[in-house]
Structure 1
Amino acid sequence: MNEGSADRERGERAQRLWRDLSDRYERQGHPRHVAEGLAAEDVKAAFKKQAGDKRHLYTATLAARRRAEAIVGASDRLGSLLTDALEHAANSPNRRASVIGQQRALVRGFHHRIASLLKDHHRDLLGRTRNKAQLRSVVRELHGESTGDLPAIAIADSVRTAFEDLRLMFNEAGGLIGKLENWGLPHSHNQRAIRRAGFDAWAAEARGRIAWDKMPDRLTGRPVAEPGAMPPIEVQDAILRETFDNIVFGRERGTAVYGRSDGESLALRRSHERTLPFRSADDWIEYNRRFGSGDPFSTIIGHVHRMARDIAMIREFGPNPALGMDFRAQLAVSRAREMGDVNLARKIEGNAAHAKRMMTILNGSLVPAGPFQEAAALFMSTTRHVLTAAFLDRAVISAISDTNSMRLAATSMGMNPGNLIKRHVDLLKSGLSRDEALRAGWIADTLADPGLALARFQSEVPPAELAERLSSGVLRIQGLNHWTDTARIAFQMEMAGHFASQAGRKLADVDEPLRGLLRDKGIAQSEWAAFTDPATLFSAGNGATFASPIYWRQATDMPRAEADDLFLRLQAIVEEQTEFAVPTNSTWARAFVEGGMPPGSIGFELAKSGLMFKSFTLTFTTNQIRRMLALPTWPSRASYAANMAAGATVMGAIALQITDLVSGRDPSDMTTPEFWATAALKGGALGLLGDVAGSAERPFGGLPAYAAGPVLSAGQDAWGLIFGNALNLATGKETHFARDGVRALDRYAPGFDLPVLGAALDRMFSDQLLILLDPDAADAVERASRRKARDFWLPGEITPSRLPDFSKAVGG
């Protein structure tokens, strides 16, 4: 289009806009000449805002293109270029800060910023948010309402400052979020509740609670109403209708977006998030009660996590991450074609497809396709959470294998594994050590995200609230959250100590492999010197020093944007290595299993059932294989594999013996080959292959059942209990309702197999209930008691008959 045509089009668009705005102002009661003057001012503002927004986005997009060209041009790992950009691959030549590494770095850094909120209001064992009265005061303070509650004021100030810094980081990365004073909190809308209510009921509830004079017009950036006033009813209805449609029909089901169009960039989409400001805290709370999907605590945490993800995405791929990823893939394929390597080009295309599935998972944009799939997804997710509470009530024993992965990760970083294990033990038993860790900025992950421990074994879509509380509560009660938190904090503290041990050296003199990690994250000598400046090191009570990126970010006087960039690159190193030390879940592995299918579909639900309890095994196997293959020679790879397998076998042996004791059995004989083979499977020495080989030992055992997952096994048991016995009753055959019911209760009741408590419940409750309800069962219990010579707590007995015989462990 030539310049004259472009000018003519802009002029015609300005005239149409001026006429529409003039008519709107006239309907509001302004004389025609006043309405035309106001419309003219709005047209000027709209074109100025549009020009500024476009210039900002164009600059950010151009920078992203240049960065992509530089990355592709310098890469010698084109075949895994895109997945490496999303999730770190150990020891690969391209170790830039991954999207997930940056996201976790931001989340941890901002958890430190809002530590008082996390300490005072994290969930209790029953999944309830603590101190709700004070939390309501925090919401009021965030809406600019004075409460006089000093702790609430301090928390609100920290949250407000954190939100503002997230906004600034988002904009500097290429986003567009305007500044609003006392805007309160973002809002996650409950799509099901809004759809059930319908537009009229929803709009009636929302209309009077919205602060229309704080809502910016997406065209001009000016408020849609004068202070204290409301816009004309047709303007209200137009905005509310579009918002309603975006919630009910839009792709981003949890975010109300006024004025979003399909294909809009992430930079613009996030800018609309706050376009439904509420008049007061009480209006926000009441609306949230009816149409929200989270309490104030989860809303704050959710906003931090979403913004961290979006900042990381834009930093890596530009204002429109999906398009940025496509462009990078095209560049890589073009380079492969220039090299004449057809196989490499096909590998890049496959890697790009996998990366898109990973991005879909990270964005949380896999949503059910319709009401039926939504109901199915909710039911199946809830079922899996209940089964998790039933089958993972001894997961903390399996988590002992973390000691081996921590040892391997420490060794690969040049750290002392013994010091790491000692610090973990100190954190497990000492509140003082945890307080010092908190002061330095290391916040327990599960204070903010209680589902993190669950994600180690099962990555899920949201279930019914009660089921989520049940599953996470069982993991908290047995201590898995505490174990996971302290293990990850211990590793991060040791890494900070390792950084500090190199302070005072030039970057070229830093020990390997740390020097290589710093170099590949683009850390310059001046940045290393600033990071290890004695004035920014954290000093513990015993005189030990730590170079923690989190603590450094608050202590440094470096300009904010530069400090943020350096913090992200440094903390990403720590986060990526922590994931190898204490695995949680792998997006790379999940993308293979879930395959981009929508929740509620048959394929997705079968895949999720098959994946149950395998997240940890998949993540551990993926991490170790990728780390192993990154080593330079086959002998070094074989040595690493042998080291890993030996450590895993020892940890498996310890886990087996603990399992025996808490089950009321004497320790197993450790002098037999069979014991060590089982220990290798239990400890994960063979990774996923070992998990499959040991499937017959599982409560839903057998290889076919292992592949299908426990959901189908539970369905089969339920069918036998209900319909099988009913059919026997109808045909005059013997029924076993009582026996089958007690056994199902023992097997599927959440928390019935917790360490120590599980054996007591089996003997004192399940066995006694079975004997009471089914007289024939008494003989079976007695026969089982005679057969179990290793049991020091016999079936059917109220109390243990003797102490465990530890000599059995050595063949006694």
Structure 2
Amino acid sequence: MAALDCIDTIQAAAKAAGRELNEEEMVELVGDLQARIKQLQATDGMLGLEEAAMRAADEMGNQVKLAAVIEKRNALLNARRRAELVGYIRSTWSDRPDLGLESFLVGTNVARAGARRSVAAEQKQLSQAYIAGFLNDIEKEGLLPFLTRGDLDQDIADSLWRIGMDKPLDGLSKEAVSIAKIMQKYQEAARIDANRAGAFIRKLPGYVVRQSHDPYKLQRAGFKQWRDEILPLLDERTFEAGSDVDGFLLATYNGLVSGVHLKVSTGQPNGFKGPRNLAKKVSAERVLHFKDGLAWNQYNKVYGTGSLREAFLGGLDRSGDSTGMMRRLGTNPESNWNAALDELQLDLKNDPEGLRKFQQDRNGLLKTRFSEIDGTSRMAVNHVGARVASNLRAWQSMAKLGGAVISAVTDLPVAASEMRYQGKGMLSSMGTLIGGMVKGKKPAEQREILSTLGVFFDSVRGEVVSKFSADDTLGGKMSRAQQLFFKLNGLTWWTDTMRSTAALMMSHHLAYNRSLDWDKMNPDLQRTLELFDIDAGKWDMLRSTPSKEADGREYMTTQGIDSIPEEDLAGYLTSKGRTVNDAAIGELREELRGSLRSYITDRSSYAVIEPDARTRAIMRRGTQPGTVAGELLRFVGQFKAFPVAVLQKSIGRELYGRGYEPSAYGANVGKELMQAMRSGNGEKLGVAQLMLWTTLFGYGAMSLKDIVKGREPRPADDPKTWVAAMLQGGALGLYGDFLFGEANRFGGGLTQSLSGPTLGLIDGGYDLLARLRDGDDTAAASFR
């Protein structure tokens, strides 16, 4: 039986599954079938042509059936996600679809239901849940030193490969085997979550971790050297029998150098229709199969983006990003997003000005937000240029931020103001935060609670640098140098302790309020929970869960959600008019976990200010590393991630997060900053308290710096001292730098504050202030 004779068999299988193959698919199928026949005969020399053709036809017929089933499932998933998005905007944001769509992607401060339960928040809570759980398990087993020192990487990789191939583990370090088993546990959890969201990822024999490829290293080596070094390491199943090995590797090399693998979504293969189909991308089997764990490790050391640990954690990050995207936007995120926008655009057909504004936002603001959650803004165009520029910024960071931990004392009133927003007292919150700082490292019980909430420690992963930079193109050695730098200057310890204390305070605050019905709860806490799609019904289920006890206090965690009775979950679904079945009940349980974890991880980044996807979108404006515009913005934005995040989160929260009502869509909203202050919901008091306390702590930080330098602290009766204290504390921030021309928090003056320490000649601040003063939408929007 020849290849062409098998087509009828496969087409019949497709029809039986309710789907006919089109002409393009038939042509592609012939090539695939012929290649598979050759591969079968090459594997088994005794296999005749007819038997090989029959076996190939059966295999591909089954694949077509499976693809048809998956395609149908994903079509339903995509239609549902699209309907949820459109319904959410129409029901909650009909007056301001632009704010609603931005809230859906990256979150805003506007106090409406679900405004912080964004795609970015879903990605973050998933990634951090995997990583925090993994790190907690590693610490509990006493394996952290063995993982971080790196000399067991080869044994760990070999263990993972042998476990996946069901081979004996003789001769391997017991610590390496234990670490490998914990790694496999979380990789399997991430795989299952992705499949539930729409992917179809099989367990691959010999899987180590998600392979990382550094485009800069590949480009520097060139194709020939890369090919010659990787070829001996690859398993023969990488190549189809009779295929052009050089051509295959060249296509793979070009794809890896382009950086397209760094995007969250791409590709449009069979069985998963739509542009840049994410489900197919994350479902795809690895293109490059290594002979064993040792071969994987050898390649990773030369061409990977870091150590085995970094590749593993990076893989969990990527899994969280992909699954979070699919959970909110379906298996074809970009296609579904555009289809939803097309539908919403029709609602404005009788409003010419609104339609014009919608199209403008679609091609501008919303596009920059989408590029952050789908990874476009992380794809370097010129890898050499991007690496050189990021290393230069890293040197500037280490040169300028040696005393940053002293400036960080102003984090205390910022964190306390967040707790005040949630209904706790400012002074009592500050006392709890100071107590947490004095106690230092959290005991094991508290660390376990934090892990269930998706909170982990920078001292383990070394990401504290993100507090000051939106830079993610840094080279491995320079990145590790920065991590060590911030560890030695105390900033890593400070950030870890502050964040964990704030997260525990929030978890305890929820447990403390569990006895209260929804309508008896403090309105401030109620409003905060609604931002994460927690309503009265969900609160009743959450407060019924058993709490976790540590240090004599009770904490609400995600662990208790497993104990919620199915009838309670079914009752909630019925009350919302949703279908009740096992899958829906499981999905609601996961929704509750996601909402609670998002509340903790997101509001912790308000307490201990960290740039988020929205901050990066504001600063990068959709540009890519290695482009002139992209690098210019990254230089200008150096050290600005923190002050911009303060404006966006702390100031924006107080102005827009207490009941502010936006103007009609299409109207000029720049002057609403002052209108928001007059809303009468506590905006003035919130901003005033924030400025007062950060100024007082700013004076303390400034005095500490003077003492460290051997100088007398500045006189408290000099008005200039308090202006400087406001600048130091962040009360005036970047805008204060322009108004008063004083040194900023990180040691730079006016021009460096406006254009970054490297490009100290670019004067852009006046334009920003002037646009804000004159009512420019873009400037005002940075606060929301």
| TM bucket, shorter chain | 0.7 to 0.9
Pick aligned residue for 1:298 from 303, 310, 326: 310
Letter in 1 for 2:156: V
Pick aligned residue for 1:246 from 252, 255, 280: 255
My pick for the range that moved more, 33-42 or 689-698, is 689-698
How far apart are residue 122 of structure 1 and its match?
Answer: 10
Partner-residue secondary structure (3-state), 1:488: helix
Per the alignment, residue 448 of structure 2 pairs with: 439
How far apart are residue 13 of structure 1 and its match?
Answer: 6.6
Unaligned runs of 5+ in 1: 216-223, 225-230, 716-812
Does the 8 A contact of 1:538 with 1:547 survive in 2? Answer: yes
Per the alignment, residue 110 of structure 1 pairs with: 130
Partner-residue secondary structure (3-state), 2:484: helix
Per the alignment, residue 634 of structure 1 pairs with: 679
Per the alignment, residue 768 of structure 2 pairs with: none
How far apart are residue 384 of structure 1 and its match?
Answer: 0.7
Letter in 2 for 1:380: A
Pick aligned residue for 1:615 from 641, 651, 675: 641
Alignment CA distance shift 1:537-1:346 (3 Å): same
Q: Is 1:78 paired with 2:97?
A: yes
CA distance in 1, matches of 2:305, 2:539: 44
Alignment CA distance shift 1:286-1:257 (3 Å): farther
Equivalent residue runs for 1:314-333 within 5 Å: 314-333=326-345
Equivalent residue runs for 1:648-663 within 5 Å: 648-663=694-709
Letter in 2 for 1:706: S
Partner-residue secondary structure (3-state), 1:319: coil
Alignment CA distance shift 1:150-1:573 (3 Å): same
Per the alignment, residue 415 of structure 1 pairs with: 424
Q: Is 1:709 paired with 2:756?
A: yes
How far apart are residue 515 of structure 1 and its match?
Answer: 2.8
Alignment CA distance shift 1:541-1:24 (3 Å): closer
How far apart are residue 653 of structure 1 and its match?
Answer: 1.1
Does the 8 A contact of 1:189 with 1:293 survive in 2? Answer: yes
Alignment CA distance shift 1:701-1:617 (3 Å): closer
Alignment CA distance shift 1:121-1:597 (3 Å): farther
Does the 8 A contact of 1:539 with 1:545 survive in 2? Answer: yes
Alignment CA distance shift 1:121-1:176 (3 Å): farther
Partner-residue secondary structure (3-state), 1:366: helix
Does the 8 A contact of 1:116 with 1:155 survive in 2? Answer: no
How far apart are residue 391 of structure 1 and its match?
Answer: 0.4
Q: Is 1:552 paired with 2:552?
A: no
Letter in 1 for 2:112: P
Q: Is 1:163 paired with 2:187?
A: yes
Alignment CA distance shift 1:577-1:257 (3 Å): closer
1:676-723 CA distance string (max 9 Å, x none): 1221121121233113335442587553443232113599xxxxxxxx
Per the alignment, residue 69 of structure 1 pairs with: 86
Does the 8 A contact of 2:132 with 2:456 survive in 1? Answer: no
Partner-residue secondary structure (3-state), 1:274: coil
CA distance in 2, matches of 1:654, 1:414: 27
Alignment CA distance shift 1:675-1:524 (3 Å): closer
Does the 8 A contact of 1:187 with 1:255 survive in 2? Answer: no
TM-score by length of 1: 0.77
1:647-670 CA distance string (max 9 Å, x none): 121121111111111111112111
Per the alignment, residue 524 of structure 2 pairs with: 513
Per the alignment, residue 462 of structure 1 pairs with: 473
Alignment CA distance shift 1:545-1:181 (3 Å): farther
Does the 8 A contact of 1:72 with 1:331 survive in 2? Answer: no
How far apart are residue 245 of structure 1 and its match?
Answer: 3.1
Pick aligned residue for 1:665 from 708, 711, 721: 711
CA distance in 2, matches of 1:397, 1:513: 32
Alignment CA distance shift 1:355-1:567 (3 Å): same
Does the 8 A contact of 1:369 with 1:598 survive in 2? Answer: yes
CA distance in 1, matches of 2:646, 2:48: 71
Alignment CA distance shift 1:458-1:432 (3 Å): closer
How far apart are residue 482 of structure 1 and its match?
Answer: 1.3
Does the 8 A contact of 1:500 with 1:545 survive in 2? Answer: yes
Alignment CA distance shift 1:621-1:316 (3 Å): same
1:324-357 CA distance string (max 9 Å, x none): 322333333322335x362475056416632321
CA distance in 2, matches of 1:459, 1:11: 46
Letter in 1 for 2:370: M
How far apart are residue 130 of structure 1 and its match?
Answer: 2.6
Per the alignment, residue 691 of structure 2 pairs with: 645
1:159-190 CA distance string (max 9 Å, x none): 21211111111121222322224411111112
Alignment CA distance shift 1:467-1:334 (3 Å): same
Letter in 1 for 2:126: L
CA distance in 2, matches of 1:352, 1:642: 37
Per the alignment, residue 228 of structure 1 pairs with: none
Per the alignment, residue 502 of structure 1 pairs with: 513
CA distance in 2, matches of 1:412, 1:138: 46
Partner-residue secondary structure (3-state), 1:252: helix
Does the 8 A contact of 2:160 with 2:206 survive in 1? Answer: yes
Per the alignment, residue 286 of structure 1 pairs with: 298
CA distance in 2, matches of 1:388, 1:149: 39
Does the 8 A contact of 2:636 with 2:754 survive in 1? Answer: yes
My pick for the range that moved more, 295-304 or 562-571, is 562-571
How far apart are residue 530 of structure 1 and its match?
Answer: 4.1
Alignment CA distance shift 1:482-1:237 (3 Å): same
Equivalent residue runs for 1:554-633 within 5 Å: 561-627=587-653, 628-632=655-659
Letter in 1 for 2:560: W
My pick for the range that moved more, 597-606 or 417-426, is 417-426
Does the 8 A contact of 1:121 with 1:129 survive in 2? Answer: no
RMSD: 3.4
Pick aligned residue for 1:92 from 88, 107, 111: 111
How far apart are residue 567 of structure 1 and its match?
Answer: 0.5
Unaligned runs of 5+ in 2: 1-14, 164-168, 567-584, 660-677, 763-784
1:431-469 CA distance string (max 9 Å, x none): 563433213234433145422x22222211322333323
Matched residue count: 688
Does the 8 A contact of 1:188 with 1:254 survive in 2? Answer: no
How far apart are residue 60 of structure 1 and its match?
Answer: 1.7
How far apart are residue 410 of structure 1 and its match?
Answer: 0.5
Does the 8 A contact of 1:257 with 1:272 survive in 2? Answer: no
Per the alignment, residue 766 of structure 1 pairs with: none
Identity of aligned residues (%): 20
Does the 8 A contact of 2:385 with 2:626 survive in 1? Answer: yes
Does the 8 A contact of 1:242 with 1:259 survive in 2? Answer: no
Letter in 2 for 1:513: D
How far apart are residue 21 of structure 1 and its match?
Answer: 4.0
CA distance in 2, matches of 1:121, 1:354: 47
How far apart are residue 313 of structure 1 and its match?
Answer: 1.4
Letter in 2 for 1:210: L
Alignment CA distance shift 1:419-1:184 (3 Å): farther
Does the 8 A contact of 2:345 with 2:358 survive in 1? Answer: no
1:629-660 CA distance string (max 9 Å, x none): 23335343222221221112112111111111
Per the alignment, residue 54 of structure 1 pairs with: 71
Does the 8 A contact of 1:75 with 1:94 survive in 2? Answer: yes
How far apart are residue 295 of structure 1 and its match?
Answer: 0.7
Q: Is 1:473 paired with 2:458?
A: no
CA distance in 1, matches of 2:199, 2:544: 32
CA distance in 1, matches of 2:550, 2:212: 40
Per the alignment, residue 213 of structure 2 pairs with: 189
Partner-residue secondary structure (3-state), 1:170: helix
Looking at CA atoms only, which structure, 1 or 2, has the larger radius of gyration? 1
Letter in 2 for 1:669: P
Equivalent residue runs for 1:233-272 within 5 Å: 234=243, 239-249=248-258, 251-252=260-261, 263-272=275-284
CA distance in 2, matches of 1:327, 1:259: 17
Does the 8 A contact of 1:606 with 1:708 survive in 2? Answer: no
Letter in 2 for 1:165: A
CA distance in 2, matches of 1:567, 1:701: 43
How far apart are residue 591 of structure 1 and its match?
Answer: 2.3
CA distance in 2, matches of 1:53, 1:680: 58
